[in-house]
Amino acid sequence: MSDDDEISQMSAEEQAMMDEWAAMADDGDGEAGGSGDVAMDDEAVETEEDDEGNTRILNQDEIDSLLGFDEDDGDGEASGVMALINSAMVNYERLPMLDIVFDRLVRLMSTSLRNLTSDNVEVSLDQVSTVRFGDYMNSIPLPAMISVFKAEEWDDNGLMVTDSALIYSIVDVLLGGRRGAASIRVEGRPYTTIESKLVERLIHVSLGDLSSAFDPLSPVSFNLDRLETNPRFATITQTGNACVLARLRVDMGERGGRMEILIPYATLEPIRELLLQMFMGEKFGRDSIWESHLTQELYKTDVQLQAVLGEQTLPLGEMLNWKVGDQVMFNTLTSDQLELRCGHFPMFLGPVGQKQGYIAVKIEDYLEPKEDDKQ
């Protein structure tokens, strides 16, 4: 067989195979009702009818909405599949007093940073939210300087993250940079000792203001533990634990940057009841004015005490046979201590004696109330 015959025979076989594949493709399209058109049709929504019924074909916008990637949704809430994924996140309780604490922190920092930099500094609070520790550590834009601080009274830690823009801005301001000029950012190198020391001054001032912001609720001292540039070395709690994240914006003219404060819920546990209050000084229904008035009036109240000289249990029939002149003998001696009662409740013990012609009792011992008396 010549080469031309072999080529023609192979072409015939290939043509037959292509015809068979085309037939199979036509059969598959007929059975699936044109499902291959679902691919990425951005223009229209089609409805085709076949032997099995109607089949809905989604366009690209509906696919994005189903997957939760709808960019037109401006409320910031996830939808579709992303909503199902995020439903695994635990909804932690809201602490109303934290908003007041961070608002107070903003006012204090504005004043403190103005005194530190001798420049017009504006501090604003962008957001207070709840995040998981691991997710936040993975989202920190590097390079950044991570300050690990310790709450002495609560015996736990927190983080204060300063981004590179704020670091270079504060270095430029403290070293006498010109006002109105943007700071020069040098990427790709670690922070120098001078830069670290200048940022450390900023951190000390901010931690002092944070302590002052918590003072009306509970006195606490935040002390800087260490400075880190690698998030792996700044781990203070487990990755799945919930934390409170406060995002602050610091503006110094055309310069500035962001500062973020991360406090785990475990750190705030000692003052959790105080943070659940709706306003400063809430007493959950208690009236301090009425309490003080009641206390003053109780001090003026007269209380009658009865001294029990002796006790004896007798049958009722014997008591009914008593006549004038009968004597009842008690076992109480003059050296015994008498019991003083207020109503039916024993209160004190003391020896008996005489003073200015009256029988008197000296109070020496206090009787603890019994369980039966408390009930």
Residue 46 lies in a domain: no
Q: Is 136 inside any structural domain?
A: yes
Asked if residue 9 is part of any domain, the answer here is no
In the three-class reduction of DSSP (H, G, I as helix; E, B as strand; rest coil), residue 357 is classed as: coil
Which pLDDT belongs to residue 240? 82
- Of residues 124, 126, 128, 123, the one with CA closest to residue 99: 128
Do residue 267 and residue 345 come from a single domain? Answer: no
Same domain for 339 and 254, yes or no, is no
Q: Flag whether pLDDT at 371 surpasses 60.
A: yes
Q: Report yes or no on 288 lying in a domain.
A: no
- 261 and 306 in a single domain? The answer is no
Q: What percent of the chain has pLDDT over 70?
A: 71
Q: Note whether 237 and 364 are same-domain residues.
A: no
Is the pLDDT higher at 351 or at 44?
Answer: 351
Whether residue 238 is found in the same domain as residue 307: no
Longest alpha-carbon distance in the chain: 158
Q: What letter represents residue 223's amino acid?
A: N
pLDDT band at 57 (very low <50, low <70, confident <90, very high): confident
Q: Which residue has the higher pLDDT, 248 or 19?
A: 248
Residue 288 has pLDDT above 60, yes or no: yes
User: What CATH code is carried by the domain that includes residue 124?
Assistant: 3.40.1550.10
Three-state DSSP class for residue 338: strand
Q: Are residues 264 and 193 in the same domain?
A: yes
Same domain membership, residue 259 and residue 141? yes
In-domain check, residue 1: no
- Tell me which residue range forms the domain holding 360: 302-317+332-374
Give the least confident one: 8-22, 208-222, 319-333: 8-22
Domain CATH for 352: 2.30.330.10
Please tell me the pTM assigned to this model.
0.53
Helices in the chain by DSSP H: which ranges?
3-32, 60-67, 80-86, 96-117, 133-139, 164-174, 193-214, 265-268, 272-275, 288-299, 316-320, 371-374
- pLDDT band with cut points at 50, 70 and 90 for residue 49: very low
pLDDT, one tens digit per residue, over 193-250 is 888 888 889 899 999 999 998 888 888 889 988 888 888 888 888 888 888 889 999 8
pLDDT attached to residue 46: 43
Confidence of residue 43 (pLDDT cuts 50, 70, 90): very low
Q: Give the confidence band of 186 by pLDDT, cuts at 50, 70, 90.
A: low
Q: Is the separation of the CB atoms in 227 and 145 below 8 Å?
A: yes
Confidence check: pLDDT of 157 > 60: yes
200 and 344 in a single domain? The answer is no
Residue 208 placed within a domain: yes
Determine, yes or no, domain membership for 89. Answer: no
Give yes or no: residues 103 and 229 share one domain: yes
User: Is pLDDT at 156 greater than 70 in this prediction?
Assistant: yes
Q: Which range is least confidently modeled, 30-34, 75-79, 371-375?
A: 30-34
Say yes or no: 308 and 253 in one domain.
Answer: no
| Number of domains present in the structure of the chain | 2
Do the domain assignments include residue 70? no
The answer to whether residues 260 and 312 belong to one domain is no
Among candidate residues 310, 312, 309, 311, the one with its CA nearest the CA of residue 359 = 309
pLDDT for 183: 53
**pLDDT score of 237:** 86
Is residue 44 pLDDT above 80, yes or no?
no
Percentage, residues of the chain above pLDDT 90: 5
pLDDT digits (tens, 9 = 90+) for 20-33: 766 665 555 544 44
Of 15 and 77, more confident: 15
Whether 269 and 142 share a structural domain: yes
For 261-273, how does the pLDDT look when each residue is reduced to its tens digit (9 = 90+)? 999 988 888 888 8
pLDDT confidence of residue 23: 67
